């Protein structure tokens, strides 16, 4: 119930406007978001690189309502890709197609994505298309496969909460493209998605085994230690080298586990979001793991007490 409430709140525009002006809300967001500018994000990435971690950079934003906004988002990503390469950080890019105009039509999103891929091509910068809610899966995959036909430095995300994902995974593997597997952070109906966490987790592990056995450099995106340990055990049993895949985790979450994975010799990439449109992202992170709410509030209270003493 709490998860559903938080996801619904993430969709409220009025609350977003209030949150972005609220000092406490902005402080909470900084636990999950690297800052509001590219310089903030690059600073966070340098720190991660210094700890043996790579990164993927996400300029937060989604569901634009005009072609002008979509073009501006594409131009921003072209600048981001140049900044990644000019600064020599170990980082690639992640993005959402609704930020590039998918709600306005596949052709709009595809045209803007082609501009980004052309900017990425000279540097061979890898670009990952995030998966949004189930309403967007077909359109997202359509744009992805169109891009893949001419740009092999593009990948996609799939979600284990959806019934359809095993079939989608086969298509992407057969194409030879790279996949990031996640559980899914959207509120989905029972008609298309597993409702019980155990079912989502079991499907995640089934899909993970397929990825590790057959896919091109898969990314296993989870903070669930049981699933991480199961993936490790599978690779040991199958003799799969650590260099053939990576774990991915979110900025600011389970830093202890991130450090442990690096210490054990695994490839670890951290998803680093930045920008002013942080409210929906923050609320989905809270919904994924409601314990984050209490963790953040506890830390904020500790900081307030420290400042007063």
Catalytic residues, which ones?
130, 180
- Separation between Cα atoms, residue 162 and residue 175, nearest integer Å: 21
Paired residues of 82 in beta bridges:
none
Q: How many CB atoms lie within 10 A of CB 73?
A: 22
- 8 A C-beta contact, residue 98 and residue 277: no
SS3 239: coil
Q: What is the DSSP string of 184-213?
A: --S---TTTB--SHHHHHHHHHHHHHHHHH
- 8 A C-beta contact, residue 145 and residue 174: no
- 8 A C-beta contact, residue 121 and residue 94: no
Burial class of 71 by CB neighbour count within 10 A (0 to 12, 13 to 18, 19+): middle
Strands in the chain per DSSP E: 54-59, 91-95, 127-129, 154-159, 179-182, 219-221, 246-250, 268-274
- Separation between Cα atoms, residue 149 and residue 198, nearest integer Å: 36
- 8 A C-beta contact, residue 140 and residue 106: no
- 8 A C-beta contact, residue 269 and residue 56: yes
CA-closest candidate to residue 207, choices 241, 257, 158: 158
């Amino acid at each position: 119930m709490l998860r559903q409430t938080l996801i619904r709140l993430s969709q409220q525009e009025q609350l977003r406007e209030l949150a972005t002006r609220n000092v406490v809300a902005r402080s909470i967001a900084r636990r999950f978001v690297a800052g509001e500018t590219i310089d903030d994000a690059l600073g966070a990435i340098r720190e991660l690189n210094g700890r043996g971690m790579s990164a993927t950079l996400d300029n937060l934003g989604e569901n634009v309502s005009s072609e002008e906004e979509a073009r501006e988002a594409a131009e921003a990503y072209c600048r981001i890709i140049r900044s990644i390469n000019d600064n020599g950080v170990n980082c690639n890019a992640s993005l959402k197609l609704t930020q590039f105009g998918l709600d306005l039509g596949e052709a709009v999103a595809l045209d803007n994505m082609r501009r980004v891929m052309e900017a990425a091509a000279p540097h061979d910068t890898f670009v990952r298309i995030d998966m949004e809610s189930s309403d967007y899966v077909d359109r997202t995959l359509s744009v992805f496969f169109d891009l893949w036909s001419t740009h092999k430095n593009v990948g996609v995300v799939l979600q284990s909460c959806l019934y359809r994902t095993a079939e989608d995974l086969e298509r992407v593997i057969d194409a030879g493209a790279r996949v990031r597997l996640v559980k899914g952070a959207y509120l989905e109906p029972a008609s298309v998605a597993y409702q019980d966490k155990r079912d989502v987790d079991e499907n995640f592990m089934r899909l993970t085994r397929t990825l590790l056995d057959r896919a091109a450099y898969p990314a296993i995106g989870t903070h669930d230690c049981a699933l991480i340990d199961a993936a490790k055990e599978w690779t040991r049993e199958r003799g799969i080298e650590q260099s053939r895949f990576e774990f991915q985790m979110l900025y600011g979450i389970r830093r202890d586990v991130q450090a442990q994975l690096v210490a054990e010799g695994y490839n670890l990439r951290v998803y680093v979001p930045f920008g002013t449109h942080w409210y929906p992202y923050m609320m989905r992170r809270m919904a994924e793991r409601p314990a984050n709410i209490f963790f953040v509030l506890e830390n904020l209270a500790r900081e307030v007490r420290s400042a007063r003493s």
